[in-house]
Amino acid sequence: MVPRYARPEMSALWEPEAKYRIWFEIEAHATEKLGELGVVPDSAAQALWDWWATDPAIDVEAIDAIEAVTKHDVIAFLTWVADNVGDEARFMHQGMTSSDVLDTTLAVQLARSADILLADLDALLAAIRRRAEEHKYTPTIGRSHGIHAEPVTFGLKLAQAYAEFDRCKKRLIAAREEIATCAISGAVGTFANIDPAVEQHVADKLGLTVEPVSTQVIPRDRHAMFFSYLEVFAG
């Protein structure tokens, strides 16, 4: 993001530190459920959460240095966590594939970004409505075919803007719902090496819904719809 134009709250969602924190939560919640299912020891998730409770700083440079050797971002992150947590960390990522972490994280980031925009829309709608009522009888020139036409009120113009942004809000709510899905289904989405209960558990913990049918990735039509609505909204 361009710092000059991006707000701190939005930028923070897309910083590497925020991304890695979501990665950890996904891995820890998955390990937690795997422990309940008896696939891994219960102590594995406990060790992860105990370390997380210390509010550790995310060492992005250290993770980048490991990735320079492994040539794999998720392996680099898991290695860094293991270096800090210890032997119990070896049970992380059982049955999962990297896209489970990457795509679910993106879903979390996009959903949280939409929440920021929706709060902005509420504030904007309130301001437009207030001004529309204020200028209910303020005369202004109407326009037709690019030239002056019969007079209208400035309040009417603002009411038109209110209606349009209200439609945008409904579209953004729908787009947020569609993008907020979780996929923890393992290699090529077959659940061959991981129980679907793990996916449901992670989805519940992160406020997502389960992706009904995934392959190696969450289907990209969801992202296309989300960004298309953002384009309409911005326009």
- Give the CATH number, domain containing residue 28: 1.10.275.10
Q: In the listed set 94, 119, 146, which residue is the last one of a domain according to the structure?
A: 94
Residue 208 belongs to a domain with what CATH number? 1.20.200.10
- Is residue 152 within 8 Å of residue 140, measured between CB atoms? yes
- For residues 83 and 106, membership in a common domain is answered with no
pLDDT at 234: 86
Residues 111 and 225 in one domain: yes
| Local structure of 208: helix, strand or coil | coil
Token pair recorded at residue 5? 């134009």
Q: How far is residue 123's CA from residue 5's CA, in Å, rounded to a whole number?
A: 19
Domain boundary among 94, 119, 142: 94
Residue 25's pLDDT is 98
Cα–Cα distance measured from residue 111 to residue 113, given in angstroms and rounded to the nearest whole number: 5
Q: Within this chain, do residues 60 and 110 fall inside the same structural domain, yes or no?
A: no
Are 206 and 225 in a shared domain?
yes
What is the Cα–Cα distance from 91 to 40, expressed in whole angstroms? 6
Q: With respect to residue 2, please indicate whether it lies within any of the assigned structural domains.
A: no
Which among 74, 94, 114 is the end of a domain? 94
pLDDT of 2: 81
Q: Where are the beta strands (DSSP E) in the chain?
A: 139-144, 147-153, 181-182, 209-210
How many domains are contained in the chain? 2
Which pLDDT score is estimated for 87? 95
Are residues 108 and 62 both part of a single domain? Answer: no
pLDDT of residue 89: 96
For residue 4, is it within any domain?
no
Per-residue pLDDT of the chain (235 residues; tens, 9 = 90+): 788 888 899 999 999 999 999 999 999 999 999 999 999 999 999 999 999 999 999 999 999 999 999 999 999 999 999 999 999 999 999 999 999 999 999 999 999 999 999 999 999 999 999 999 999 999 999 999 989 999 999 999 999 999 999 999 999 999 999 999 999 999 999 999 999 999 999 999 999 999 998 888 999 999 999 999 999 888 8
> Would you state the pLDDT for residue 1?
75
Residue 1: inside a domain: no
* Residue 5, in any domain of the structure: no
Within-domain flag for 41: yes
pLDDT at residue number 235: 84
- Identify whether residues 101 and 186 lie together within a single domain: yes
pLDDT score, position 131: 98
Looking at residue 3, its pLDDT comes to 80
pLDDT of residue 215: 86
Residue 59 domain boundaries: 12-94
pTM exceeds 0.85 for this model: yes
